[in-house]
């Protein structure tokens, strides 16, 4: 039997650089934005992330898109 993959909502993890701690180690904090339509383009998601970064005090370190799918037979 063939396995069917059905896309679920995606999420985006945006990492911000908060500088260094007292030991000199880099501090990165992550914000997760959930319930993004799986059909949203990467360009659209990045445009929203860039708009949000403009409102933040800290600089952007990384952006990760996480896609989820349900599998069934």
pLDDT exceeds 90 at position 23: yes
Lowest mean pLDDT among 2-6, 43-47, 61-65: 2-6
Name the domain count of the chain: 1
CA distances from 29 to 6, 26, 36, 41, 61 (A): 31, 10, 21, 25, 9
pLDDT, one tens digit per residue, over 27-40 is: 999 999 999 998 99
Q: What does the pLDDT read at residue 44?
A: 96
Q: What does the pLDDT read at residue 10?
A: 94
| Residue 49, φ and ψ in degrees, nearest 5 | -60, -45
- B/e letters for 55-68, b = 16+ CB within 10 Å, e = fewer, are eeeeeeeeeeeeee
Rounded to two decimals, the pTM is 0.82
Domain residues for the domain of 57 are 4-72
pLDDT exceeds 80 at position 1: no
């Amino acid at each position: 039997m063939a396995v069917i993959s059905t896309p679920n909502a995606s999420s985006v993890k945006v990492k911000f650089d908060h500088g260094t701690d007292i030991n000199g180690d880099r501090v990165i904090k992550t914000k997760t934005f959930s319930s993004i339509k799986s059909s949203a383009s990467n360009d659209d998601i990045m445009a929203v992330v860039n708009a949000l970064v403009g409102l933040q005090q800290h600089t952007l370190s990384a952006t990760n898109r996480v896609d989820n799918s349900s599998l069934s037979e």
